[in-house]
Structure 1
Amino acid sequence: MTDQQHAPLAPARHAHIIAALERDGIVRVSRLTEELGVAPVTLRRDLQQLEEEGRLERVHGGAVPAEAARDEPAPAQTGGAIGVLVPSLAYYWPGVVRGMEAEARKRGLRLVLRGASYELQDERPVLERLIAADDIRGLIVAPNPDVTHAQDVVQWLDGSGVPAVFVERDAVVLPDRAPVENVTTDHALGAVLAARHLASLGHRRIGLILSRESPTGRKIVTGWATACEELGLAPADHFESLFPDRNGPGFATAVNAAIDKALDAGVTGLLIHSDPEAMAFIDIALNRGLSVPEDLSVVAYDDEVAQLFTPALSAVSPPRAAVGAAAIDLLAKRIADPTRPVHRVSLSPTMHARESSAPPA
């Protein structure tokens, strides 16, 4: 009997979809495919039927609640636009932005979106153009914290007179070190969840591989250290490695060195940030005659495309859409009440076990 024959019937699927909408505020066909074990075309028909019944509204790649399906009254319609500056429009951030779009639509707000890059030397001109170009009521920003002008951007935002929320970033305003309002994923917890997952399978020697220095990577390192202590691992029972850019000439050499290090140390389980690096790592390992998960179990961090790989990658999944929605919510409340206390919201990721992790051979 096939998996499709074991899939839930339409009423059960519809109930699952509505429950997910009530919980997360948005559903994605890719995630529903994994959760329900049915084809994307089936889910698109389900979403179409539920939309025709007035229970949701379809958007690109998924759906958001319909106005008539919400049990609570819609938030106040504040009007105007929200300026958004994120580092990339190609990876990780689109999911965050879709969450912003869904929440902004509920509130009668629209987004003015800009994508920067980690190489941008100063984000202030981009932010200045955003403020000057439109009816901007507030800003949601994810500036690069690892450049010399980082604190200048924070100080400029604080003095701009425009309400701002940082997303997936922590910052303080000098000289008093007042915290900046923000929404973040608890990436340290994500590392803990991955390490616990590997330990639950019986892995007693594990490794962490990071693709680059980044705000997310540093939090993962912190959580990894906490997890290794929690699990009672000795220094010889775990290792940490940092990869160069996967598009650079030294990437394959670094991967092979990490594989050698893992094999020499008897490591059987790995957490790799992020999905593309985990996929490249596995390809090189397979070329060397190793098997995943038989020789090495792999957990990816980000879960952006992890489930599309073969074997489907176990992964830590940050709540990207919920992060975006929470940022809009915080900003709308700040606009409505400039005197409210500073809020810093931390959302928990989830661990999805798939084919790339298994008990050690």
Structure 2
Amino acid sequence: MTTEPERRAPLPAERRAHLLDALDREGVVRVADVSRALGVTAVTVRRDITRLEREGRLVRVHGGAVPVTTAGRDGASPAPPPTAQAIGVLVPSLDYYWPGVVRGLEAEAREHGLRVVLRGSSYETSDERPALQRLAETDGVSGLVVAPRTDGTRGADVALWLRDSGMPHVLVEREAALAPYREALESVVSDHALGALMAVHHLAELGHRRVGLVLSRESPTSRKIAAGWRAACTELGLSTEEHFERLAPGRRNPDFPGVVTEVVDTAVASGTTALLVHSDPEASAVVQEAMDRGLRVPGDLSVLSYDDEVAGLFSPALTAVRPPRAAVGHAAVDLLVKRLADPDRPVHRVAISPRLVVRESTGPVRTS
């Protein structure tokens, strides 16, 4: 009997070559992905990233690394010199969703000869003001592109800090208004409500009348998706008895598998034939649970994902709403540049439409 040979641990040079190859292919590498792919610890990957940064071959960011753009590479604009005017960027992470936004804003910054100082916070961060203050005071940036938490009193405190700092700023994938007159802060967002409305209309065109919604409890996007879903249900005449709504905990939460089971239980019991699920990993988990029970996707249950980060990799490939991540990044820097040039211009709030990408996981209602 033959056995599989034991996997050889990659040499340091092989690990670093893998990192650089991934940067060339993807434009970003994540510590968790490289650790899993190579079978090494996250500490080892971070050590390799630190060495490559010292060699000037990449730039460390929260959760991973991004490439150093050089003159003439892939036709990109030359990287701005270290003395160039800098803008500060604060995003929740580079583990999911945000790399696409960051690539867009970095490309736009290069077009304007601006240097980007990138920092990460966390969805669990209760107060981003210290990080913003360090960007403004220590890193010497001229303006800020920020994705802070905007819920609750801490969110209001961040909005007040931004206004009172006098630092030109643009919110990205976030919106905020100041009391008492609801004065809006400058922002660029994906129109997530429109994306959800498009998704429900797609399902309705396939004959679905019972369309459920599953949201990520931890995501600030969920509120807008829910608004679009409810608007579509009203437009299409779906009654409250014909759809249901669930909030799923984070995927690392021990309650997550139970919620996925409950979602499929509820869909089957209520005759629900289609689900809109945010985001891709949650949608994949629902599809897997349905198929494990012998349900056909899309024959018995159509599933449409919101985010389209990895939806196309699953089997069946998931129909998904794709937010315009790179375009949001481009537009945010463009707004900031215009604000820097004209501090007295009116506040602009930009909403960019997402796309519906139809794949294999949605289909007509089963008639027999």
Same fold (TM over 0.5): yes
Cα distance change, pair 353–343 in 1 and its aligned pair in 2 (3 A):
same
CA contact (8 A) 2:84 2:113 kept: yes
* Residue pair 2:69, 2:76 contacting (<8 A) in 1 also: no
What is the number of residues matched between the two proteins?
296
Deviation at 1:173, TM superposition (A): 2.1
Match of 1:221 among 208, 226, 237: 226
Corresponding position of 2:353: 348
Offset from partner CA, 1:278-311 (integer Å, 9 cap, x none):
1111112222222211111110000011111111
What residue in structure 1 maps to residue 321 of structure 2?
A: 316
Q: What are the within-5 Å matches in structure 2 for residues 212-361 of structure 1?
A: 212-361=217-366
Q: Secondary structure at the match of 1:284?
A: helix
Structure 1 residues 81 and 216: alpha-carbon distance in aligned structure 2, compared to 1, 3 A threshold: same
Partners of 1:134 and 1:119 lie apart in 2 by 24
Q: 2:200 — aligned with what? A: 195
Whichever residue aligns with residue 347 of structure 1, its letter is I
Amino acid at match of 1:236: E
Work out the CA distance in 1 between the residues paired with 2:138 and 2:147.
Answer: 20
In 1, Cα distance between equivalents of 2:180 and 2:236:
39
Q: Decide whether the 8 Å contact of 1:121 with 1:147 is kept in 2.
A: no
Separation in 1, partners of 2:220, 2:99: 18
1:241-294 deviation per Cα after TM superposition (whole angstroms, max 9, x unaligned): 111222111111111111111111111111000001111111122222222111
Measure the CA separation in 1 of the matches of 2:158 and 2:74.
Answer: 34
Farther-moved stretch of structure 1 (301-310 vs 175-184) = 175-184
Checking the alignment, whether the CA contact within 8 Å between 1:211 and 1:246 is kept in structure 2 is no
How big is the alpha-carbon RMSD for the aligned residues of Structure 1 and Structure 2? 2.2
Q: Does 1:94 align with 2:99?
A: yes
The aligned residue for residue 161 of structure 2 is 156
1:174 shift after superposition: 2.5
2:217 is aligned with what amino acid?
A: R
Instruction: For residues 191-234 of structure 1, give each alpha carbon's deviation from its aligned partner in whole angstroms, at most 9, with x where no partner exists.
Output: 10000110111111111111214321000111111000111112
The whole-number CA distance in structure 2 between the counterparts of 1:129 and 1:139 is: 12
Pick aligned residue for 1:134 from 133, 139, 162: 139
CA distance in 2: counterparts of 1:319 and 1:242, whole angstroms: 24
1:190–1:351: 8 Å Cα contact kept in structure 2?
yes
TM-score by length of 1: 0.78
Letter in 1 for 2:112: R
Structure 1: runs of 5+ lacking an equivalent: 1-27, 31-57, 68-77
In structure 2, C-alpha distance between the alignment counterparts of 1:120 and 1:134, rounded to whole Å: 21
